[in-house]
Amino acid sequence: MPDLVRMSSIPRHAFFGYWQKVTLILLGVTMACFYWADTEIIALEPWSELQRIALGFLSPDFLATEYLLEAVWQTISFALLGVAAGLLLGAPVALFYNKPLVAAACAFIRSIHELFWALLFLQVFGLSPLTGVLAIALPYGATFARVFSDILQQAPVYTLQNLPANTDKVSRYIYGRFAHVMNEIKAYVRYRFECALRSSAILGFVGMPTLGFYLESAFRQGHYHQGAALLILFIIMIGSIPYWCRAKLLPLYFIAAVWLLPDITTIDGSLVWRFLSDDILPPMFQSHSIDLLFNDKWRLFAQWLYDIVTEQALPGILATVLLAVAALGFSYLLALLMTTFSFKPLTGAFITRLNNFILLILRSIPEYILAYIFMLLLGPSMLPAIIALAIHNGALVAYLTARQSSTTTFSQHFNGKIDGYAYDILPRIYPNMMALLFYRFEVILRETAILGMLGVATLGFYIDSNFSEIRFNGALVLIGATALLNILIDIASRKLLVNGSLSHKPC
Amino acid sequence: MFAIKPLISMFVLLFAPSLLAATFTFTAIPDEDESQLRTRFDKVAVYLEEKLGVEVKYVPVKSYSAAVTAFRNNQVQLAWFGGLSGVQARRLVPGSDAIAQGYEDQFFKSYFIAHHSTEIIADDSFPNLNGYTFTFGSKDSTSGRLMPQFFIERNLGKRPEDIFKRIGFSGDHSRTIAQVQAGVYQVGAVNYKVWESALAAGKIDLNKVDVIWTTPTYPDYQWTVRAGVDETFGEGFKARVEAALLGMTDTDLLKSFPRKSFVPAENQDYEPIENVAKTIGLID
């Protein structure tokens, strides 16, 4: 990180360095967004409902869910196949990621939430496992492409320079670059598998036969004993990944995943064609639309588009950005706090272990459920959504930072106190934490979609409305708006974060 | 260039429409209690199999729009729809027919419920809801969204966004009750059957939340069978499906829906729903 070192080592800026500036700007923007966001707290009587939720967690009912083992297995299986297919798609694309068009296409694919991919694929593949696997594979593939390309760029070049001149391209690539970063890529794929388990569960929300199918129904309908059991099971599943997800067992799992996949219904070509040639066209261009003069069609189209943009896209974008930025700022505060707690030499073994356990729970509970609990406590403003996103993502960033900084060497003079931590340790892990946080922004932006389904009028809210009104054309316009927003933010954050001075382990 | 034609035919073969689906598939989402869906409706499938003499399969779905999509794509040929989703489905697949509805669905209604702090008193005339916060059920629900919104607009003469301080979509009737009871929203609209069962189950504290207005009755849930089942499963199949549904008397099966019994229905019964949906702009 040459830029970084240079910047923070200029003496007269020593106190007010690069990271201080970035942090202050982040906090300033957060405050502004928080101010403009709707954060009204409404006095309530949530206790009887909260009591029911608490009782559910005190006596979880593991037998209330039908076909439970099947749901657990399908959650794993969709995640596994999704990641595998994502690797097949993403790894080759990583080599061309420096082409702006490729990068933009990947940003476009990534910007659409797995749930919306699933809703789109549902229209053409129906409730087939293909829908679920593709809904994970596509956005994950696009993420792999970007991350692998970032990691590869950081690979040292000395081996490459020392290879004999007549070495062929493939060998040069494999031995010169890939070999250097193989471990890092493996670690990243392992981390993405955990994410994929979460995604896979969430796909249950739209009908895939994973844990989320039952989890969502149980919480939505107030069957908290059942919901708590499912949530506990899910957290155990995530927490125990290192025990059951061994490299040697993977081929076995993989064969089982393919073997036990639910029946793939025959793909009906006419459905695909109908979706592409008719469903997604604006109403006035659809085959069953009333015959209009050509000019009228275009006038109606302009009106239709104008209505969607002004009534849904623009308010949606505003709410999405306010919510996401406010959540980013609070994620930062939480991540900072929890990273500190998980630094063993400072807080001791017990607190570290407790903190790691809390991090596991917080990052595994779907934001959707957190938001509902906070909504009962605080009322239906944006606040519950902000807090839910902040908790989930703050915990994730803290977990990743802690994992990566556990190997950071600190000076012999570290005094084991908070000032030592602040002046010695934190500056070493800070850039990494900030990098993780900013990469996470993209995810936060995408996750506002789920909270939209809870009633916060983000872009996701309007997309969901369009899907439920069976207006795929409107949904597509809004998905396009989401993607555009994401690409703009992607470009902006890349410019802001001085060419790669921010490190290389995104999430 | 010469490879294109074989490629196209390969594509067509690969994606060929499924040959005659030998299995008659249906879906259903009950308006309350979605737990144990497969266990409950597999029993209905067994019943239908006996009556119809073909293989019958139940497919669980998560939402009305998913049910409509599955119906449209011929992944299910029979569905237990809500009023609105049935209208949507029949518009998308012309020739499909509503063949039976629940006994209760002939005169279905929604309750408007309010938190005690609003001090709105139950009355026959429509309450003045200006300035309150309000939650519907799920966006595509007939009893939690469509009809309540229609009656709000008709009685107050304005769009909901011009009446309420805040509008929510709780996603579920049970959740509407929980939220209004907790005061998260001041007023809400809920399926009357869900309210009554929650009341019977002791989940409602009438000191905190109570019914303030009841909508006039309207038709709701119905069985809709897809166009073309007679061609696929044999002449007279549709009539046999209808007979099987109307002849369902086993209370164990009926309570999955949950309905007292099924009575005949036809598409015309749902014209009011279609008109209402057009009025408030949910369908074009």
Which tens digit of pLDDT belongs to each residue from A130-182?
999 999 999 999 999 988 988 888 788 788 888 888 888 888 888 888 888 88
Mean pLDDT, rounded, for A441-452: 85
Which tens digit of pLDDT belongs to each residue from A227-245?
999 999 999 999 999 899 8
Taken in order of first residue, the domains within chain A and their CATH numbers are 1-36+280-408+427-507 (1.10.3720.10), 48-277 (1.10.3720.10)
* Cβ count within 10 A of residue A16: 10
- Which chain B residue has the Cα nearest residue A465? B139
pLDDT at A19: 83
Does residue B138 contact residue B145 with C-beta atoms inside 8 Å?
A: yes
pLDDT at A413: 73
Interface test with A, best of B7, B57, B184 (most A CBs within 10 A): B184
Rounded to the nearest angstrom, the minimum Cα separation between B161 and chain A is 12
Pick the closest to residue B180 from B153, B212, B150, B202 (CA basis).
Answer: B212
Is pLDDT at A5 greater than 90 in this prediction?
A: no
* Cβ count within 10 A of residue B247: 12
Across chain A, what does the average pLDDT equal? 86
pLDDT at A217: 92
Which tens digit of pLDDT belongs to each residue from A104-118?
899 889 988 899 999
Q: What share of chain B is helix, strand, coil (3-state, %, to 5)?
A: 45, 20, 40
Residue A73, SS3?
helix
pLDDT at A45: 86
Q: Cα(A29)–Cα(A328) distance, rounded to whole angstroms?
A: 10
pLDDT band at A499 (very low <50, low <70, confident <90, very high): very low
The alpha-carbon radius of gyration of chain A (Å, integer) is 24
Q: Which residues contact B63 (CB under 8 A, 6 or more apart)?
A: A206, A207, A468, B29, B138, B140
Mean pLDDT, rounded, for A34-38: 89
CB contacts, 8 Å: B191 with chain A: none
Q: Cα(B29)–Cα(A281) distance, rounded to whole angstroms?
A: 30
pLDDT at B5: 52
Is pLDDT at A9 greater than 50 in this prediction?
A: no
Expressed in angstroms, the distance from the first to the final Cα of chain B is 44
Q: Which one is predicted more confidently, A374 or A489?
A: A374
* Cβ count within 10 A of residue A477: 22
Positions of CATH 3.40.190.10 in chain B: 23-105+219-279, 109-214
Question: Six-digit token pair at A471?
Answer: 């207006």
Pick the closest to residue A387 from A442, A328, A311, A338 (CA basis).
Answer: A328
Question: Six-digit token pair at A163?
Answer: 């290879």
Q: Which CATH superfamily is domain B23-105+219-279 in?
A: Periplasmic binding protein-like II (3.40.190.10)
Does residue A358 contact residue A455 with C-beta atoms inside 8 Å?
A: no
pLDDT band at A404 (very low <50, low <70, confident <90, very high): confident
Mean pLDDT, rounded, for A434-456: 83
Q: Cα(A433)–Cα(A321) distance, rounded to whole angstroms?
A: 22
Q: How many CB pairs under 8 A join A and B?
A: 141
Pick the closest to residue B115 from B9, B36, B204, B232 (CA basis).
Answer: B204
Q: Which one is predicted more confidently, A264 or B160?
A: B160
pLDDT at A131: 93
* Cβ count within 10 A of residue A145: 26
Residue A503, SS3?
coil
Q: Cα(A215)–Cα(A496) distance, rounded to whole angstroms?
A: 40
pLDDT at B19: 42
pLDDT at B15: 47
Does residue B100 contact residue B245 with C-beta atoms inside 8 Å?
A: yes
Whether A270 contacts chain B with CB within 8 A:
yes
Q: Which residues contact A314 (CB under 8 A, 6 or more apart)?
A: none
Choose among B15, B74, B178: nearest Cβ to A49: B178
pLDDT at A264: 66
Q: Which residue has the tokens 């410019």?
A: A495
In the chain, the amino acid numbered A243 is: Y
Which tens digit of pLDDT belongs to each residue from A45-101?
888 889 999 999 999 999 999 999 999 999 999 999 999 999 999 999 998 888 888
pLDDT at A490: 75
ipTM score: 0.88
Q: Cα(A367)–Cα(A359) distance, rounded to whole angstroms?
A: 14
Are residues A469 and B62, on separate chains, in Cβ contact within 8 Å?
no
CATH number belonging to domain B109-214: 3.40.190.10
**Dihedral sign of CA atoms A20, A23, A29, A31 in order:** negative
Rounded to the nearest angstrom, the minimum Cα separation between A296 and chain B is 18
Rounded to the nearest angstrom, the minimum Cα separation between B67 and chain A is 10
Q: Where are the alpha helices (DSSP H) in A155-223?
A: 158-162, 169-171, 179-203, 211-220
Which tens digit of pLDDT belongs to each residue from B196-239?
999 999 999 999 999 999 999 999 999 999 999 999 999 999 99
Q: Cα(B109)–Cα(B192) distance, rounded to whole angstroms?
A: 6
pLDDT at A494: 67
Q: Which residues contact A231 (CB under 8 A, 6 or more apart)?
A: A215, A365, A369
Helix A211-220 to helix A179-203 angle, to the nearest 10 degrees? 40
Q: What percent of chain A has pLDDT over 70?
A: 91
Residues 380-409 of chain A with CB under 8 A from chain B are 380
Are residues B61 and A222, on separate chains, in Cβ contact within 8 Å?
no
- CB-based burial, A329-353: b 16+ in 10 Å, e otherwise: bbbbebbbebbbbbbbebbeeeebe
- Which chain B residue has the Cα nearest residue A65? B36
Is pLDDT at A266 greater than 90 in this prediction?
A: no
Residues of chain B with pLDDT under 50: 1-2, 6-7, 9-21
Does residue A215 contact residue A98 with C-beta atoms inside 8 Å?
A: no
Expressed in angstroms, the distance from the first to the final Cα of chain A is 19
User: Strand pairing of B209-214 and B110-115?
Assistant: antiparallel
Residue A380, SS3?
coil
Q: Cα(A363)–Cα(A496) distance, rounded to whole angstroms?
A: 27
Q: What is the DSSP string of A403-459?
A: HHHTT----TT--SSHHHIIIIIHHHHHHHHHHHHHHHHHHHHHHHHHHHTTT--SH
Residue A46, SS3?
coil
Q: Which residues contact B9 (CB under 8 A, 6 or more apart)?
A: none
CB contacts, 8 Å: A204 with chain B: 62
pLDDT at A6: 44
Q: What percent of chain A has pLDDT over 90?
A: 43
